[in-house]
Structure 1
Protein backbone atom coordinates (compact mmCIF):
# COMPACT_ATOMS: atom_id res chain seq x y z
CA UNK A 1 0.00 0.00 0.00
CA UNK A 2 1.43 3.32 -1.04
CA UNK A 3 -0.44 5.52 1.44
CA UNK A 4 -0.53 5.21 5.22
CA UNK A 5 -3.91 4.54 6.79
CA UNK A 6 -5.57 7.60 8.31
CA UNK A 7 -7.06 7.19 11.76
CA UNK A 8 -10.41 8.95 12.24
CA UNK A 9 -8.90 11.17 14.96
CA UNK A 10 -6.32 12.58 12.50
CA UNK A 11 -8.80 13.68 9.81
CA UNK A 12 -9.31 17.28 8.73
CA UNK A 13 -12.83 18.68 8.43
CA UNK A 14 -13.13 17.76 4.73
CA UNK A 15 -11.74 14.30 5.38
CA UNK A 16 -14.08 13.74 8.33
CA UNK A 17 -17.11 14.76 6.25
CA UNK A 18 -16.08 12.29 3.54
CA UNK A 19 -15.35 9.58 6.13
CA UNK A 20 -18.83 9.98 7.64
CA UNK A 21 -20.51 9.80 4.22
CA UNK A 22 -18.59 6.64 3.34
CA UNK A 23 -19.39 5.04 6.69
CA UNK A 24 -23.13 5.67 6.22
CA UNK A 25 -23.13 3.52 3.07
CA UNK A 26 -20.68 0.99 4.49
CA UNK A 27 -22.88 0.43 7.53
CA UNK A 28 -26.01 0.05 5.40
CA UNK A 29 -24.75 -1.96 2.46
CA UNK A 30 -21.33 -3.55 2.78
CA UNK A 31 -22.17 -6.48 5.02
CA UNK A 32 -19.50 -8.97 5.87
CA UNK A 33 -16.28 -7.66 4.46
CA UNK A 34 -13.62 -5.65 6.23
CA UNK A 35 -13.44 -1.98 5.25
CA UNK A 36 -11.92 -0.58 8.47
CA UNK A 37 -9.05 -1.63 10.67
CA UNK A 38 -9.32 -1.92 14.46
CA UNK A 39 -8.58 1.80 14.86
CA UNK A 40 -11.41 2.76 12.46
CA UNK A 41 -9.11 3.69 9.57
CA UNK A 42 -10.76 3.02 6.22
CA UNK A 43 -9.27 0.42 3.88
CA UNK A 44 -9.78 -0.19 0.18
CA UNK A 45 -10.32 2.75 -2.16
CA UNK A 46 -11.57 4.83 0.74
CA UNK A 47 -8.15 5.53 2.25
CA UNK A 48 -6.84 7.16 -0.97
CA UNK A 49 -10.10 9.09 -1.25
CA UNK A 50 -9.50 10.47 2.25
CA UNK A 51 -5.88 11.40 1.48
CA UNK A 52 -7.02 13.54 -1.44
CA UNK A 53 -10.51 14.72 -0.49
CA UNK A 54 -10.89 17.08 -3.45
CA UNK A 55 -10.68 14.06 -5.75
CA UNK A 56 -12.04 11.60 -3.23
CA UNK A 57 -15.32 13.48 -2.76
CA UNK A 58 -15.98 13.40 -6.50
CA UNK A 59 -15.07 9.71 -6.76
CA UNK A 60 -17.21 8.90 -3.74
CA UNK A 61 -20.14 10.94 -5.09
CA UNK A 62 -20.28 8.68 -8.16
CA UNK A 63 -20.00 5.54 -6.04
CA UNK A 64 -22.66 6.75 -3.59
CA UNK A 65 -25.00 7.64 -6.44
CA UNK A 66 -24.78 4.05 -7.66
CA UNK A 67 -25.85 2.83 -4.19
CA UNK A 68 -28.57 5.44 -3.74
CA UNK A 69 -30.25 4.98 -7.12
CA UNK A 70 -29.92 1.30 -7.87
CA UNK A 71 -33.03 -0.38 -9.28
CA UNK A 72 -31.63 -3.64 -10.58
CA UNK A 73 -31.28 -6.84 -8.55
CA UNK A 74 -28.10 -6.81 -6.48
CA UNK A 75 -26.99 -10.14 -7.97
CA UNK A 76 -27.02 -8.57 -11.45
CA UNK A 77 -24.98 -5.59 -10.29
CA UNK A 78 -22.48 -7.80 -8.46
CA UNK A 79 -21.90 -9.83 -11.63
CA UNK A 80 -21.05 -6.63 -13.53
CA UNK A 81 -18.74 -5.39 -10.74
CA UNK A 82 -16.92 -8.75 -10.53
CA UNK A 83 -16.40 -8.81 -14.30
CA UNK A 84 -14.90 -5.33 -14.07
CA UNK A 85 -12.74 -5.96 -11.00
CA UNK A 86 -11.45 -9.19 -12.50
CA UNK A 87 -10.65 -7.57 -15.84
CA UNK A 88 -8.65 -4.85 -14.10
CA UNK A 89 -7.11 -7.12 -11.44
CA UNK A 90 -8.37 -5.00 -8.54
CA UNK A 91 -7.77 -7.30 -5.58
CA UNK A 92 -9.76 -5.39 -2.96
CA UNK A 93 -12.70 -4.91 -5.34
CA UNK A 94 -12.80 -8.64 -6.06
CA UNK A 95 -12.45 -9.44 -2.34
CA UNK A 96 -15.35 -7.22 -1.30
CA UNK A 97 -17.69 -7.95 -4.15
CA UNK A 98 -17.24 -11.70 -3.90
CA UNK A 99 -18.77 -11.33 -0.44
CA UNK A 100 -21.50 -8.96 -1.62
CA UNK A 101 -22.35 -11.33 -4.48
CA UNK A 102 -22.65 -14.26 -2.06
CA UNK A 103 -24.89 -12.18 0.19
CA UNK A 104 -27.11 -11.33 -2.79
CA UNK A 105 -27.58 -15.00 -3.63
CA UNK A 106 -24.98 -15.60 -6.33
CA UNK A 107 -23.63 -19.13 -5.82
CA UNK A 108 -19.95 -19.47 -4.91
CA UNK A 109 -19.24 -21.59 -8.01
CA UNK A 110 -20.63 -18.87 -10.29
CA UNK A 111 -18.54 -16.23 -8.50
CA UNK A 112 -15.40 -18.36 -8.78
CA UNK A 113 -15.94 -18.80 -12.52
CA UNK A 114 -16.33 -15.04 -13.05
CA UNK A 115 -13.24 -14.28 -10.95
CA UNK A 116 -11.32 -16.85 -13.00
CA UNK A 117 -12.13 -14.70 -16.04
CA UNK A 118 -14.69 -17.07 -17.52
CA UNK A 119 -18.40 -16.74 -18.27
CA UNK A 120 -20.49 -19.11 -16.14
CA UNK A 121 -22.85 -21.36 -18.09
CA UNK A 122 -25.62 -21.09 -15.50
CA UNK A 123 -26.22 -17.33 -15.47
CA UNK A 124 -29.82 -16.15 -15.29
CA UNK A 125 -31.02 -14.13 -18.30
CA UNK A 126 -30.46 -10.87 -16.42
CA UNK A 127 -27.04 -11.94 -15.12
CA UNK A 128 -26.02 -13.05 -18.62
CA UNK A 129 -26.90 -9.70 -20.16
CA UNK A 130 -25.12 -7.83 -17.35
CA UNK A 131 -22.07 -10.09 -17.74
CA UNK A 132 -21.97 -9.60 -21.51
CA UNK A 133 -22.42 -5.81 -21.29
CA UNK A 134 -19.71 -5.50 -18.62
CA UNK A 135 -17.34 -7.80 -20.54
CA UNK A 136 -17.85 -5.84 -23.76
CA UNK A 137 -17.35 -2.47 -22.06
CA UNK A 138 -14.24 -3.76 -20.33
CA UNK A 139 -12.69 -4.55 -23.71
CA UNK A 140 -12.58 -0.79 -24.29
CA UNK A 141 -14.52 -0.58 -27.53
CA UNK A 142 -17.97 0.53 -28.63
CA UNK A 143 -20.77 -1.55 -27.14
CA UNK A 144 -22.31 -3.55 -30.01
CA UNK A 145 -25.80 -2.44 -30.99
CA UNK A 146 -27.26 -5.91 -30.51
CA UNK A 147 -25.90 -6.08 -26.96
CA UNK A 148 -27.09 -2.57 -26.15
CA UNK A 149 -30.56 -3.51 -27.44
CA UNK A 150 -30.54 -6.73 -25.39
CA UNK A 151 -29.72 -4.65 -22.31
CA UNK A 152 -32.54 -2.18 -22.96
CA UNK A 153 -34.95 -5.04 -23.63
CA UNK A 154 -33.92 -6.78 -20.40
CA UNK A 155 -33.51 -3.80 -18.05
CA UNK A 156 -35.13 -0.80 -19.76
CA UNK A 157 -33.21 2.35 -20.63
CA UNK A 158 -32.73 3.34 -16.97
CA UNK A 159 -31.51 -0.13 -15.99
CA UNK A 160 -29.14 -0.26 -18.93
CA UNK A 161 -27.80 3.17 -17.96
CA UNK A 162 -27.29 1.82 -14.44
CA UNK A 163 -25.10 -1.00 -15.73
CA UNK A 164 -23.09 1.25 -18.04
CA UNK A 165 -22.47 3.84 -15.30
CA UNK A 166 -21.74 1.06 -12.77
CA UNK A 167 -19.00 -0.36 -15.00
CA UNK A 168 -17.53 3.13 -15.40
CA UNK A 169 -17.73 3.78 -11.67
CA UNK A 170 -15.97 0.53 -10.83
CA UNK A 171 -13.29 1.24 -13.41
CA UNK A 172 -12.54 4.34 -11.37
CA UNK A 173 -12.54 2.32 -8.14
CA UNK A 174 -10.23 -0.30 -9.68
CA UNK A 175 -7.84 2.38 -10.96
CA UNK A 176 -7.64 3.90 -7.45
CA UNK A 177 -7.04 0.47 -5.90
CA UNK A 178 -4.38 -0.48 -8.44
CA UNK A 179 -2.72 2.94 -8.48
CA UNK A 180 -2.20 2.83 -4.72
CA UNK A 181 -1.51 -0.93 -4.62
CA UNK A 182 -4.29 -1.49 -2.09
CA UNK A 183 -4.11 -4.99 -0.60
CA UNK A 184 -6.84 -7.30 0.57
CA UNK A 185 -7.17 -7.05 4.36
CA UNK A 186 -6.00 -9.84 6.61
CA UNK A 187 -9.13 -11.75 7.56
CA UNK A 188 -10.06 -14.91 9.34
CA UNK A 189 -12.64 -15.97 6.74
Structure 2
Protein backbone atom coordinates (compact mmCIF):
# COMPACT_ATOMS: atom_id res chain seq x y z
CA UNK A 1 0.00 0.00 0.00
CA UNK A 2 1.25 3.47 -0.85
CA UNK A 3 2.32 5.80 1.92
CA UNK A 4 1.39 8.87 -0.06
CA UNK A 5 -1.51 10.93 1.13
CA UNK A 6 -4.98 10.19 -0.21
CA UNK A 7 -7.12 12.89 -1.73
CA UNK A 8 -8.70 13.69 1.62
CA UNK A 9 -10.91 16.64 2.30
CA UNK A 10 -10.32 18.67 5.42
CA UNK A 11 -13.57 19.22 7.25
CA UNK A 12 -12.69 22.80 8.14
CA UNK A 13 -11.20 25.23 5.62
CA UNK A 14 -7.65 26.19 6.54
CA UNK A 15 -7.69 29.15 8.89
CA UNK A 16 -5.31 32.06 8.27
CA UNK A 17 -4.52 35.22 10.17
CA UNK A 18 -6.77 37.11 7.75
CA UNK A 19 -9.78 34.85 8.32
CA UNK A 20 -9.75 35.05 12.12
CA UNK A 21 -12.61 37.06 13.61
CA UNK A 22 -10.90 39.44 16.04
CA UNK A 23 -7.60 40.80 17.30
CA UNK A 24 -7.41 38.38 20.26
CA UNK A 25 -7.77 35.37 17.97
CA UNK A 26 -5.19 36.88 15.60
CA UNK A 27 -2.77 37.46 18.48
CA UNK A 28 -3.19 33.85 19.60
CA UNK A 29 -2.65 32.63 16.03
CA UNK A 30 0.57 34.65 15.85
CA UNK A 31 1.77 33.02 19.10
CA UNK A 32 1.04 29.63 17.55
CA UNK A 33 2.90 30.55 14.35
CA UNK A 34 5.91 31.53 16.46
CA UNK A 35 6.26 27.98 17.89
CA UNK A 36 4.47 25.60 15.53
CA UNK A 37 6.27 23.44 13.00
CA UNK A 38 2.98 23.08 11.07
CA UNK A 39 1.80 26.67 11.22
CA UNK A 40 -1.94 27.03 11.81
CA UNK A 41 -2.63 23.59 10.35
CA UNK A 42 -3.30 20.40 12.26
CA UNK A 43 -4.97 20.82 15.64
CA UNK A 44 -4.70 24.60 15.50
CA UNK A 45 -6.92 24.75 12.44
CA UNK A 46 -9.63 23.02 14.47
CA UNK A 47 -8.94 24.64 17.86
CA UNK A 48 -9.11 28.18 16.52
CA UNK A 49 -12.80 27.64 15.64
CA UNK A 50 -13.33 28.18 19.37
CA UNK A 51 -10.89 30.98 20.27
CA UNK A 52 -11.39 30.90 24.06
CA UNK A 53 -10.88 27.13 24.14
CA UNK A 54 -7.89 27.53 21.82
CA UNK A 55 -6.30 30.08 24.17
CA UNK A 56 -6.76 27.86 27.21
CA UNK A 57 -5.54 24.65 25.61
CA UNK A 58 -2.60 26.45 24.00
CA UNK A 59 -1.56 27.70 27.46
CA UNK A 60 -1.85 24.13 28.77
CA UNK A 61 0.15 22.82 25.81
CA UNK A 62 2.85 25.41 26.49
CA UNK A 63 3.27 23.98 29.99
CA UNK A 64 3.06 20.37 28.90
CA UNK A 65 5.51 20.78 26.01
CA UNK A 66 8.03 23.23 27.42
CA UNK A 67 7.79 23.35 31.22
CA UNK A 68 6.58 19.95 32.40
CA UNK A 69 8.35 18.17 35.23
CA UNK A 70 8.78 15.07 33.04
CA UNK A 71 12.05 14.60 31.19
CA UNK A 72 11.45 15.60 27.58
CA UNK A 73 11.98 12.12 26.11
CA UNK A 74 9.34 10.66 28.46
CA UNK A 75 6.96 13.51 27.72
CA UNK A 76 7.32 12.95 23.99
CA UNK A 77 6.96 9.19 24.47
CA UNK A 78 3.59 9.81 26.16
CA UNK A 79 2.54 11.96 23.20
CA UNK A 80 3.60 9.26 20.73
CA UNK A 81 1.62 6.68 22.69
CA UNK A 82 -1.53 8.72 22.12
CA UNK A 83 -0.54 9.30 18.51
CA UNK A 84 -0.27 5.54 18.03
CA UNK A 85 -3.46 4.69 19.93
CA UNK A 86 -5.39 7.14 17.77
CA UNK A 87 -3.39 6.42 14.58
CA UNK A 88 -3.01 10.18 14.50
CA UNK A 89 -1.10 11.03 11.36
CA UNK A 90 -0.33 14.63 12.37
CA UNK A 91 0.55 13.86 15.99
CA UNK A 92 3.03 11.17 14.94
CA UNK A 93 4.42 13.24 12.07
CA UNK A 94 5.04 16.22 14.35
CA UNK A 95 6.29 14.45 17.48
CA UNK A 96 8.35 11.51 16.21
CA UNK A 97 11.37 13.68 15.28
CA UNK A 98 10.98 15.71 18.48
CA UNK A 99 10.96 12.51 20.56
CA UNK A 100 14.12 11.21 18.88
CA UNK A 101 15.86 14.56 19.30
CA UNK A 102 14.87 14.51 22.99
CA UNK A 103 16.60 11.15 23.43
CA UNK A 104 13.87 8.55 22.96
CA UNK A 105 15.50 5.61 21.22
CA UNK A 106 14.18 4.98 17.73
CA UNK A 107 13.73 1.28 18.55
CA UNK A 108 11.21 2.24 21.25
CA UNK A 109 9.29 4.56 18.93
CA UNK A 110 9.44 2.10 16.03
CA UNK A 111 8.09 -0.77 18.14
CA UNK A 112 5.29 1.51 19.34
CA UNK A 113 4.48 2.50 15.76
CA UNK A 114 4.28 -1.21 14.85
CA UNK A 115 1.79 -1.75 17.71
CA UNK A 116 4.33 -3.78 19.66
CA UNK A 117 4.98 -3.18 23.34
CA UNK A 118 8.41 -1.56 23.03
CA UNK A 119 11.24 -3.92 23.88
CA UNK A 120 14.17 -3.06 26.10
CA UNK A 121 12.50 -0.07 27.71
CA UNK A 122 14.21 1.50 30.69
CA UNK A 123 12.24 1.41 33.94
CA UNK A 124 10.92 4.97 33.55
CA UNK A 125 9.89 4.34 29.93
CA UNK A 126 8.04 1.16 30.91
CA UNK A 127 6.14 3.05 33.61
CA UNK A 128 5.18 5.78 31.14
CA UNK A 129 4.00 3.15 28.67
CA UNK A 130 2.02 1.19 31.27
CA UNK A 131 0.34 4.24 32.81
CA UNK A 132 -0.61 5.73 29.43
CA UNK A 133 -1.85 2.41 28.05
CA UNK A 134 -3.84 1.43 31.15
CA UNK A 135 -5.48 4.83 31.46
CA UNK A 136 -6.29 4.89 27.75
CA UNK A 137 -7.50 1.32 27.35
CA UNK A 138 -8.73 0.30 30.81
CA UNK A 139 -9.59 3.83 32.02
CA UNK A 140 -7.85 3.19 35.34
CA UNK A 141 -4.57 2.05 36.81
CA UNK A 142 -4.16 -0.59 39.47
CA UNK A 143 -2.89 0.18 42.95
CA UNK A 144 0.28 -1.74 42.13
CA UNK A 145 0.94 0.32 38.98
CA UNK A 146 0.17 3.53 40.86
CA UNK A 147 2.63 2.62 43.61
CA UNK A 148 5.37 1.73 41.09
CA UNK A 149 4.74 4.86 39.02
CA UNK A 150 4.80 7.10 42.09
CA UNK A 151 8.04 5.48 43.29
CA UNK A 152 9.75 5.87 39.89
CA UNK A 153 8.35 9.21 38.73
CA UNK A 154 7.28 10.98 41.92
CA UNK A 155 3.94 12.65 42.44
CA UNK A 156 4.34 15.74 40.23
CA UNK A 157 5.77 13.81 37.30
CA UNK A 158 2.99 11.23 37.56
CA UNK A 159 0.34 13.96 37.51
CA UNK A 160 2.09 15.70 34.59
CA UNK A 161 2.23 12.37 32.74
CA UNK A 162 -1.51 11.89 33.06
CA UNK A 163 -2.07 15.52 32.02
CA UNK A 164 0.08 15.21 28.88
CA UNK A 165 -1.49 11.88 27.96
CA UNK A 166 -5.04 13.17 28.37
CA UNK A 167 -4.32 16.46 26.63
CA UNK A 168 -2.79 14.75 23.60
CA UNK A 169 -5.78 12.42 23.52
CA UNK A 170 -7.82 15.60 23.10
CA UNK A 171 -5.45 16.84 20.41
CA UNK A 172 -5.79 13.51 18.56
CA UNK A 173 -9.58 13.78 18.79
CA UNK A 174 -9.49 17.33 17.38
CA UNK A 175 -7.28 16.15 14.52
CA UNK A 176 -9.70 13.34 13.81
CA UNK A 177 -12.67 15.71 13.93
CA UNK A 178 -11.05 17.97 11.35
CA UNK A 179 -9.72 15.12 9.20
CA UNK A 180 -6.33 16.83 9.41
CA UNK A 181 -3.28 15.29 7.75
CA UNK A 182 0.45 16.08 7.74
CA UNK A 183 1.66 18.73 5.29
CA UNK A 184 1.16 17.90 1.62
CA UNK A 185 3.84 15.59 0.33
CA UNK A 186 4.74 14.21 3.75
CA UNK A 187 4.38 10.45 4.06
CA UNK A 188 1.58 9.13 6.24
CA UNK A 189 2.90 7.40 9.36
CA UNK A 190 -0.14 5.08 9.40
CA UNK A 191 -1.19 4.60 5.76
CA UNK A 192 -3.55 1.75 6.60
CA UNK A 193 -5.57 4.04 8.87
CA UNK A 194 -6.95 6.45 6.26
Aligned CA distance change for structure 1 residues 188 and 177 (closer, same or farther; 3 Å): closer
In structure 2, how many angstroms separate the alpha carbons of the residues matched to 1:25 and 1:155? 28
Answer yes or no: is 1:109 the counterpart of 2:107: yes
**Root-mean-square deviation (Å):** 1.8
In structure 2, how many angstroms separate the alpha carbons of the residues matched to 1:20 and 1:180? 21
Match of residue 35, structure 1, among 38, 41, 49: 38
Residue equivalent to 1:81: 79
Q: CA deviation at 1:22?
A: 2.2
Summarize deviations over 1:54-99 as a string: whole Å, max 9, x none: 3222322322231343122111111111111111222111111111
Aligned to 2:154, the other structure's residue is in SS state helix
Q: CA deviation at 1:24?
A: 4.2
Aligned CA distance change for structure 1 residues 69 and 54 (closer, same or farther; 3 Å): same
Where does 1:60-139 land on structure 2 (aligned, <5 Å)?
A: 60-139=58-137
Summarize deviations over 1:149-183 as a string: whole Å, max 9, x none: 11111111001001011111111101100111111
Residue equivalent to 1:163: 161
Structure 1: gaps spanning 5 or more residues: 27-33, 37-41
Q: Could you tell me the TM-score, scaled by structure 1's length?
A: 0.85
How many residues align structurally? 177
In structure 2, how many angstroms separate the alpha carbons of the residues matched to 1:24 and 1:125? 35
The higher-RCO structure (CA 8 Å, 6+ apart) is 2
Q: Could you tell me the TM-score, scaled by structure 2's length?
A: 0.83
Answer yes or no: is 1:8 the counterpart of 2:17: yes
Aligned to 1:51, the other structure's residue is in SS state coil
Residue equivalent to 1:39: none
